[in-house]
Amino acid sequence: MLKQYLLTPGPTPIPPQVALKEALPIIHHRTDEFSAIYKDISEDLKYIFQTKNNIYTVACSGTGVMEMAVVNLLSPNDEILVASCGNFGDRWIKISQAYGVKIVSISVEWGKTVDPLQVQKALKENTNIKAVFTTLVETSTGVVNDIKSIGKIVSATNAIFAVDAISGLVGQEFKTDLWKADVVICTSQKGFMLAPGLAFITLSDKAWKLVESSKIPKFYFDIKKYKNLTNATPFTPPVTLIVSLQEAIKLIKEKRIENIWNDCRVLAKAARAGMQALGLKLFAEVPCDVLTSAIVPENIGEKIVKTLRKKYGVSIAGGHGDWKDKIVRFSHMGYICKADLLVGFSCLEMVLSELGLSIEKGKSVAAVEEELLKD
């Protein structure tokens, strides 16, 4: 009976219009009807990614499409640069290692961002680097990286630039072509407001050249199988998810992407004000617009998350790795609105109070309201 509020950085809430599409009778995927839908979403995804290049839709989670990027671009013993500032950046390292790729890594302290000048330095010192991998929004810490500056640096070299935009895309301003990202990946369960299970990848001409020389074995994830088809996928696609994606894209297009970026900025400002009003220090050095992370007193992170969910039906996230119990992460990407933010902060305030922190009731909600009213 407890009403659920999903304020986690994936999965995110699904708008009712989108969820209803998932309930429709399934159609066959080798039909004109499905091809028309697939053609439609493939065109519209270009607008959301801000690219002129094709977007390929694949059935897998985010990690799957990260692996797809690695296996299609590289060969064993190739050298790559990974600029990581958290758990998801580190995942590029783990995947590449599994395929025998040599890694030069820039590992930034969690909570901080990748310094573009460090990328420049690493590229100068290691002239064989084939590709640079990084993350738009590092969801494990809540920072946003300066993709535009890194893109400018990488584009002046022979290396290609691959960006994990999984949690950032849609909510956080991002321009694939203008910012010179050669490979961009995303999934359905974050800013796209869909159930998990769909992933997207786009490649520039420069990246396709690398695909031609890649020697890592692959089959399901062989991107050439996707490239050679028009308005169809090589294997059975998650038809229902693609049908509901069409509806989610309709909502995004109606609102326009610039307005969504702006809404997320407003929510992020309010969430940061709310955290600070609770006496919590913000974790991210350069905070993103799609989630807000804050440091909580030692060892109560998980207790906060569990109590909020159990008692009030409000789901937020704790930390990853060493920060598991030390931070909380409050998402405001996708179908999360001003009213949800107020519910979240009001309940968070009560839980912190119940856990023994000295909290002035209503203070964070007032701070959130203050920011929201400026919009």
Ligand X SMILES: *Cc1c(COP(=O)(O)O)cnc(C)c1O
Distance CA 172, CA 184 (A): 14
Question: To the nearest whole angstrom, how small is the minimum distance from the Cβ of residue 45 to ligand X?
Answer: 18
CB under 6 A: which stretch of 61-69, 243-251, 319-327, 337-345 binds ligand X? 61-69
Q: Are the CB atoms for 340 and 7 separated by under 8 Å?
A: yes
Candidate residues 61, 75, 157, 262; the one interacting with ligand X per rule CB under 6 A: 61
Candidate residues 42, 50, 54, 63; the one interacting with ligand X per rule CB under 6 A: 63
Q: Are the CB atoms for 369 and 49 separated by under 8 Å?
A: no
166 interacts with ligand X by CB under 6 A:
yes
Candidate residues 167, 204, 244, 307; the one interacting with ligand X per rule CB under 6 A: 167
Q: Which is nearer to ligand X, 170 or 359 (CB)?
A: 170
Q: Which two tokens stand for residue 311?
A: 């008692």
Q: Which is nearer to ligand X, 139 or 233 (CB)?
A: 139
Question: To the nearest whole angstrom, how small is the minimum distance from the Cβ of residue 373 to ligand X?
Answer: 30
57 interacts with ligand X by CB under 6 A:
no
Distance CA 106, CA 284 (A): 18
Question: To the nearest whole angstrom, how small is the minimum distance from the Cβ of residue 297 to ligand X?
Answer: 26
Q: Are the CB atoms for 190 and 333 separated by under 8 Å?
A: yes
The tally of CA atoms less than 13 A away on the side-chain side of residue 345 is 31
Q: Are the CB atoms for 130 and 73 separated by under 8 Å?
A: yes
Candidate residues 139, 202, 214, 233; the one interacting with ligand X per rule CB under 6 A: 139
Identify residues 8-27 at the interface with ligand X (CB under 6 A). Answer: 10
Candidate residues 135, 293, 307, 364; the one interacting with ligand X per rule CB under 6 A: 135
164 interacts with ligand X by CB under 6 A:
yes
Distance CA 177, CA 204 (A): 8
Q: Which is nearer to ligand X, 68 or 278 (CB)?
A: 68
Identify residues 334-353 at the interface with ligand X (CB under 6 A). Answer: none
Q: Are the CB atoms for 198 and 238 separated by under 8 Å?
A: yes
Contacts of 123 (CB under 8 A, 6+ apart): 81, 129, 132, 153, 154, 157, 159
Distance CA 307, CA 205 (A): 50
Q: Which is nearer to ligand X, 95 or 210 (CB)?
A: 95
Distance CA 293, CA 347 (A): 16
88 interacts with ligand X by CB under 6 A:
yes
Q: Which is nearer to ligand X, 123 or 199 (CB)?
A: 199
262 interacts with ligand X by CB under 6 A:
no
Given the rule CB under 6 A, which residues bind ligand X? 10, 61-63, 88, 135, 139, 164, 166-167, 187
